[in-house]
A and B are shown apart, each in its own frame.
Chain A
Amino acid sequence: MVTRAAKFSIQGLHVHYGSLCALRDLNLEIAAHELFTVIGPANSGKSTFLNSLNRLIDLEAHSRVSGGIRLDGIDIRAGLEVEALRRKVGIVFALPLPLPISIYENVVYGLRMQGVRDAKALDAAVERSLRESYLWEEVKDRLRTPAMNLSGGQQQRLCMARILAGQPDVLLFDEPTSGLDPISTARIEETLLVLKEKYTIVLVTNNVAQAARVGDRTAFFLMGEMVEVSATSTMFTTPADSRTSDYITGKFG
């Protein structure tokens, strides 16, 4: 199944919050240009897993991480500055969280922090990334207005544009449509399918049907353990573990 080179390779990953074990002995490879979906009930460790990939987990008080994560063969702790890692591995959160500045400034925030000053380069990045997230036509005439004035779905696409502006390798999505209406959700899903041509995508979702719709491969997490990982079509037709079939058929969770 996995013929392309591994983008992420995760070995023996454990994450603890104080004495609580949130993620236990995770071994996983995620291929380049794959749309990898993660499903599981609340507190199953899916968000912890996602936050480990770009080290946002370090911000949690009392978090302890052991085991190794490699991105393109490079250890994300020993081999990369954390700022460089987060530029390569962008994240879109569950709630649309634009910064309280203009649409334009939201998009170029990461670039400005990298020290990009050239106005032409910034303008070009804004247009390119807003087109990639299918927001350009709706906002091109009001780029200097506050991002907070956009609708929820537009804000979420702005958050996608914001990470795309930095030309990342990997896009992480943490239940990105949980606060959106069905139409906005459908638009985000369409966008995901287009984006996977260029990027590797890891999508954590509490919506099982969404994983079935867009995923190439799917992993099922339960209480900090990865129960099963397989091609999405396989998982949703012939799951190997009875707990997986119970969850996707809605018997719990």
Chain B
Amino acid sequence: MARLALRNLSRNRRRTVLSAGIVALGCALSLVVLGFVERSRSLIQETTVQQFGNLQIADPEFLDGKAEGFAYLVSPAVRAQVEGLVRLERGVVGTTAQLALSGLLAVRRTTAVVRAVGVVPENNILDYNDLVIDGRGLKPGDVGAVLVGQTLANELGLQPGDFVNLTATTVAGAFNVSPLEVVGLFQFSSAEVERAQVFVPLSFAQLLLATEGVDRIVVRLDRLGRTSAAARAIGARLRAAGLALEVRTWDVLSPFYRGLSGFFDLLFGFLVAAVFTLVFFIVLQILTLSFLERTREVGTIRALGTRQGEVFRLFVEESLWLGLVGGGVGALIGIGISLLFNAAKIPWQPPGTVQTVTLGVDFTATAILIPFLVSVFSTLASALLPAYQATRVSVVDALRAV
């Protein structure tokens, strides 16, 4: 039967090449799009992790934005205990801490409400200095220094070297004010962040709030793939130690990434569905025509004793070969296009990030296998109806067909 199926494909070469070509085109297109989506997704994952770390450990109410007062702060002793527990986990690159506060940034006679994020400058776990476009980043030993977003700097007429005052309420409820030197301006993908957020050294934020605590501990891992397992393991260790802290992963912390990832899935799903629906109907038409032309032959082989199921299998085998060849050629074409695309090194700034990256197409096994399998299955599916019809026709009627 396999031999007959293959011979049938060679019977009308132009039609077979056309069918396989359509399958190959669908496969190649899907492979390139899926590879592109996967590369873009991984670029956005990397930049998101650079902003959030792999994991953040904090008070659950603080993470949910429901905390009141400063009860959520993590004391130095607890921070040390947590960092000790985190270091037990395999693949931990390092930890850092943050303390965010709300305050009034004043320059000359103008003020702005800002969220000042206290970061550890000497810790490269989260690289804020990459965002700096003018002046310099925060350095170890800095205390009265601030990085201001470009939008806020424009609105307040600030430049590196200017001085500002930051006023906030201490944990005890008293007002506190301190001068800061604008050491650099940073750029972010969102003008809203550039307007409302500034970066200060953690030690300054603690000084201003009159606390030694931090609001979160950030953990960086060597591999993205470790994130979920590490979150579970560290969470279990925290619970075992009696600490009422929660571990959140980077993708949960970034609603933007979740939305974008979902959008990518939807986009790819829609495109693949559209491409393969088209492939399905074109191949269906070609196979129906091909099978109709062989009605008398079907009558002959059934008269010779071929059972209906065997005729069905013969036709399905033909489409399977068509799908395998079309999908295989399509995968090779897709890989070729992707190699050319990668060689072009097209620059791109992913949404939600400030870094320019090189666009490309990933060759993961999934990115090759999914379009290939969808090609094979859509070709098989398009053969089912004509194959079924071929088995239902009466032998006598089939033998009379011209």
Do A and B come from the same complex?
no
A interface residue numbers (CB < 8 A to B): none
B interface residue numbers (CB < 8 A to A): none
